[in-house]
Structure 1
């Protein structure tokens, strides 16, 4: 009899423990969702039939873009932001039977930004030039976007500093690039290097340098968001 009551008591204790654990899990899940600091979109340029720049040693831009985007996603998630990638594999944002895949791809990227309304969007790309000596990261923003210019300045400074760029560039306004022209909200095109420069192409093919680029971009984004937050507080 005693043994039977002991077994029942142990079973009740186990059920109560399971209830507490499930309740704690639900609380943690709710807390994590509530603590999201907002959505940031990362656009990994090119993909699918469009390799982008094909640089030294056959290095394809679309591959480098995606790797840096994935590392950037991890960095931003560590900071509490929700992150959405426009693509997570080697694919384009177009229908296979589309007559103009490139145009449809760009339209769909803009449509994603319009639908999700992120805090900001960064589009990761790589650069090229006929002179192989040309190198260094370059950030572009829409010419008429004040916030876009501020974000670009923050990211450019971090890239120059953290990648130890010998001849640092400054952020550059542009009013012709499709994404800059047609996208809603704050968007920067971030070109982390030149695949036509032998040294830079070699670096951009490595995991370590891709991670450095991602961390620099992340720090630039955080600096920008802090600036926006401080300016909002000062206006209250």
Structure 2
């Protein structure tokens, strides 16, 4: 009788182990699916009452940022990558009653990003400098983020498709609010200099914006495949 009881207990123990093993398998599989989820946030810099840089051709940075961001969004979705846009029109994320709309806008962008928990963030901007001869796209990352550095370097390499003569390198930064406050790999892509007459003229054309969108999309895909 004792042996029968022991045998029965052994069977129950084995059945329990099998059940636990199956459940663990489900949890592990679920984690892998979640981690592998390809979600990218595209942040179009400035907007609303914040025009960003004003080009030598009077172009507003905010408009160029949004145009390129939308093109990138379209390309990523075509490649089955989920996209979250921080803005989709000429608007600010600040609320109507906010006293410092610029600060509140940036805080809202960071909150959206951290709540979304994407694989990466690409913030699209245009540059400007006192020397009109300075030109070329450049990518910035948070100084203390190795993932950010790797992401920026891949994006900088991808941008060579737009201008093979561009010798700029991905650059570390520890002051930009968006880079410091986001909890995922975040890069800022400065697509060109609105202070350079030749580059400013190209940045407002759909043809050049398409080239930039192609390069940025390729850079994102390279990052996601790592």
**TM norm structure 1:** 0.79
In structure 1, what is the Cα distance between the partners aligned to 2:95 and 2:222? 38
For the 8 Å contact 2:137–2:166, the answer to whether it is kept is no
Gaps of 5+ in 2: 1-35
User: Which residue is equivalent to 1:209?
Assistant: 208
- 1:85 paired to 2:82: no
What's the C-alpha RMSD, in Å, of the aligned pairs?
1.1
The whole-number CA distance in structure 2 between the counterparts of 1:165 and 1:52 is 27
CA-CA distance at 1:158 after TM superposition: 1.0
Shift of 1:101: 0.4
Matched, 1:219 2:218: yes
Please identify runs of 4+ aligned residues in structure 1 that moved more than 6 A: none
Q: Which runs of 5+ in 1 are unaligned?
A: 1-35, 228-236
Shift of the alpha carbon at 1:199? Answer: 0.5
Give the Cα separation in 1 of the matches to 2:166 and 2:221: 24
Match of 1:180 in 2: 179
Residue by residue over 1:43-97, the C-alpha shift from the partner in whole angstroms, topping out at 9 and shown as x without a partner, is 0000000000001221000000000000000111111111111000000111122
With structure 2 as the length reference, what TM-score do the two structures score? 0.82
Task: Tell me the CA shift for residue 185 of structure 1.
Answer: 0.6
Q: Give me the whole-angstrom Cα distance separating, in 1, the residues matched to 2:57 and 2:134.
A: 17
Aligned 8 A contact 2:38 2:224 in 1:
no
Q: CA offset at residue 130 of structure 1?
A: 0.6
**Aligned equivalents of 2:175, 2:75: Cα separation in 1:** 30
Alpha-carbon offset, residue 216 of structure 1:
0.4
